[in-house]
Amino acid sequence: DTEVTQTPKHLVMGMTNKKSLKCEQHMGHRAMYWYKQKAKKPPELMFVYSYEKLSINESVPSRFSPECPNSSLLNLHLHALQPEDSALYLCASSHPTDRVYYGYTFGSGTRLTVV
């Protein structure tokens, strides 16, 4: 299995809602990532988990809360989002090593609209 599966594919939520994005991989990758991508922009790193521990938080607002329950799963909990948070949220995974990087396998993303 060489895929990263993200659910849901589309999500519309109100500013007072609480929702979660889910990501799953079975490639044995021990690094998992959340990226945010706005239209016509590059992916922007939000969080990095390495061996199920949060290793990078790119100063993301607390209304985004990541969780890594095990080595295959990554969640992003959303609460009290703003319309400007509307974007494509991408999950990715890779082999973690601090010496040689490997390419990321991206999921197909969740297209989030905040109304």
Rounded least distance, CB 51 to another protein, Å: 11
**Residue whose tokens read 């993301």:** 60
Q: Which of residues 1-30 bind another protein (CB under 8 A)?
A: none
Which of 11, 31, 76, 78 is close enough to bind another protein by CB under 8 A?
Answer: 31
Q: Is 51 in the site for another protein (CB under 8 A)?
A: no
Ranges of beta strands (E only) in the chain are 4-7, 10-13, 18-25, 31-37, 44-50, 53-57, 64-70, 73-79, 87-94, 105-106, 110-114
Q: Is 54 in the site for another protein (CB under 8 A)?
A: no
Q: Can you give the binding site for another protein, defined by CB under 8 A?
A: 31, 33, 40-45, 48, 50, 55-56, 88, 90, 96, 98-109
